[in-house]
Structure 1
Amino acid sequence: MSELVVKAAYATVATEEGAVFVGFVDGREENYALFRQPVGGGAVWFEVNDEDFGAEDAIAAVATQGTDLLVTLRPEKAGRFGYASQVAVRLKTCDGAEAALAQLQKMGLPGL
């Protein structure tokens, strides 16, 4: 079971200021999961709900399970995420999820 959960209502993919962003946001825009990578590749920044709960190169693995996107965090980065080891992004009713998942694959995340 995941310690952090984002029930995504919509997903976005954007390129700004030399970086590619993939975000999953709940309907009230209070909870989110954000992936950021420099255009052309490199380390991925991942954050959940606040920039303080984020880190570069924090992702150990990413997988889809049913309608969920499961992000397993590196143990040495757990402190940046309130000592969570996994984040679940619920995609059951998420608009734009297909394009966002395709972009995550392009980012080269382990497991996708």
Structure 2
Amino acid sequence: MADLVIKAGYATVTEEDVLRFVGFVDPRKEDYALFRQSLDGGPVWFEVNDEDFGADDAVACAAIGPEGLVIDITPARAARFGYANRVAVRLKSCEGADAALAALRLMGVPGL
């Protein structure tokens, strides 16, 4: 069971300057989950709802399952997420989810 849940209405993939951004947004609550990485590779930044709740190398593993996209937080980074250990991004009615998941695979998110 996830500690945090984002019910994504849409997903975006954007490349700006030297960074790739992949976001999942719940427009009703303005909640989001965001992944960011340099186009050259390197660590993946993950944040939920605010930059203060994010960190590089925070994703221990990600998987697609009944809850949607489930992200397990690296134990050493859990404090950055209010001690949440798992984030679920519900994809049932998420526009653009396929492109976003493909971008996460390109970024090398573990488990995808």
Amino acid at match of 2:9: A
TM-score calculated relative to the size of structure 1: 0.97
Distance change (3 Å), C-alpha of 1:29 and 1:19: farther
Q: Which has the higher strand share?
A: 2
Match of 2:20 in 1: 20
Amino acid at match of 2:111: G
Matched pairs, number: 112
Contact 2:67 2:88 survives alignment (8 Å): no
C-alpha distance in 1 between matches for 2:76 and 2:67:
28
Match of 2:10 in 1: 10
C-alpha distance in 1 between matches for 2:93 and 2:35:
20
C-alpha distance in 2 between matches for 1:108 and 1:37:
10
SS in 2 for 1:44: strand
**Deviation of residue 66 (structure 1)?**
2.9
Paired residues for 1:7-86 under 5 Å? 7-28=7-28, 30-66=30-66, 68-86=68-86
Distance change (3 Å), C-alpha of 1:67 and 1:95: farther
In structure 1, runs of 5+ residues without a counterpart are none
CA RMSD of aligned residues (A): 1.0
**1:45-78: CA deviations, max 9, x gaps?**
0000000000011110000003600000000100
Contact 2:34 2:47 survives alignment (8 Å): yes
TM-score calculated relative to the size of structure 2: 0.97
C-alpha distance in 1 between matches for 2:67 and 2:85:
20
Contact 1:22 1:34 survives alignment (8 Å): yes
User: How many percent identity over aligned positions?
Assistant: 62
Contact 1:67 1:92 survives alignment (8 Å): no
Structure 1 stretches of 4+ with a deviation exceeding 6 A read none
C-alpha distance in 2 between matches for 1:6 and 1:31:
6
C-alpha distance in 2 between matches for 1:88 and 1:29:
15
